[in-house]
Amino acid sequence: MTGHIIEVEGASARQRLDLFLMEFAASTGLGLSRTAIQHCIVSGRVSVDGRTVHKASFKVSAGSKIVFEPEAAKTDPALVGEDIPLDVVYEDEDIAVINKPAGLVVHPAPGNAAHTMVHAMLNRFGTLSDINPHRPGIVHRLDKETSGLIVIARNNAAHHALAKQFADHSIKRKYVALVKGRVEYDENVIELSIGRHPTRREHMAVHSGVNARYAKTRYRTIKRTDTVSLLELEPYTGRTHQLRVHLSYIGHPIMGDAKYGRQAAFPRMALHAKYLGFMHPSSGKFIEFETGTPKEFSDAVRSKESS
């Protein structure tokens, strides 16, 4: 069996196999439903330490190696390219790196069936990886209001190689964020587990429940005023909404984040993916890309300094 090779971290020990694979699929852009993953398990497309496992309720163990082979699929024929401008920072036969603007949804989803980055990519590149037929090319994602660098896969081999790097947390990412309040420390690390909110199912939250997973974020304060701070953020793990949840929990929500920021006023969510570094899936060479801090972030800090 070939496919995704995943090593189970200690924090995921004793988790159900289907839930473990759901989290992997979400973090690597596969976007598979729980039903689809359970079908893969039952049909023998998942092995643990070399043994095929057919039970979705199987409990994974720390250090185990899981091989997961989703069923082959072709790009959803309903998806057609749209002439939407893209800021392509880099492209070759395997990958492309795009500087996504705030406000552009990455892939189709309920409520956003068209006018997404996927539609723009199909128009720009033609063929993309089709491991997830509803999200061709998508290996990871940025929230709609988050701007910045995102890497896409133009074929399935590149998709698998990039997905493994994301699963291993070997891809280097840095963000810049404008947050509410005066951050006390010049530099600090936040290590707080994150899981689904116990009552608000569309939210994530810091807690220590059975499905919470270890999460680590490093931040460095670039500038601060009495009311806002500009931070550089480096996530060591890739939990859903990790940066937003961690910053909100320590009392410095991202400006413009209505979901976790209690309506902190700003025209958009003030989060930008400024740096991306990874091993090229074909050459094996480490490549990196960087963009500047959005002007509206810097302008906001200057206006607070002069007021």
Same fold, 4-68 and 72-168: no
Fold of 4-68: 3.10.290
Query: What pLDDT does residue 26 have?
Result: 76
Architecture of domain 173-273+297-306: 2-Layer Sandwich (3.30)
49 is catalytic: no
Architecture of domain 72-168: 2-Layer Sandwich (3.30)
**Tens of pLDDT, residues 259-270:** 998 766 788 999
**DSSP string of the chain, one letter each residue:** --SEEEEPPGGGTT-BHHHHHHHHHHHTT----HHHHHHHHHTT-EEETTEE---TTPBP-TT-EEEE-PPP----TT---------EEEE-SSEEEEEEPTT--SS-BTTB-SSSHHHHHHHHHS----SSTTSTTBSS---TT-EEEEEEESSHHHHHHHHHHHHTT-SEEEEEEEEES----SEEEEE--EEE-SS-TT-EEE--STT-B--EEEEEEEEE-SSEEEEEEEESS--TTHHHHHHHHTT-PBTT-TTTSTT---SS--EEEEEEEEE-TTT--EEEEE-PPPHHHHHHHHHHHH-
Is residue 1 pLDDT above 70, yes or no? no
Predicted structure pTM score: 0.78
Query: What pLDDT does residue 36 have?
Result: 81
Is residue 74 pLDDT above 70, yes or no? no
Domain ranges of the chain: 4-68, 72-168, 173-273+297-306
Greater pLDDT, 36 or 206: 206
User: Which of 2-16, 50-64, 198-212 has maximum average pLDDT?
Assistant: 50-64
**Tens of pLDDT, residues 157-206:** 899 899 889 888 899 999 999 999 999 999 999 999 999 888 887 899 99
The catalytic residue among 18, 76, 130, 143 is 143
Query: What pLDDT does residue 9 have?
Result: 87
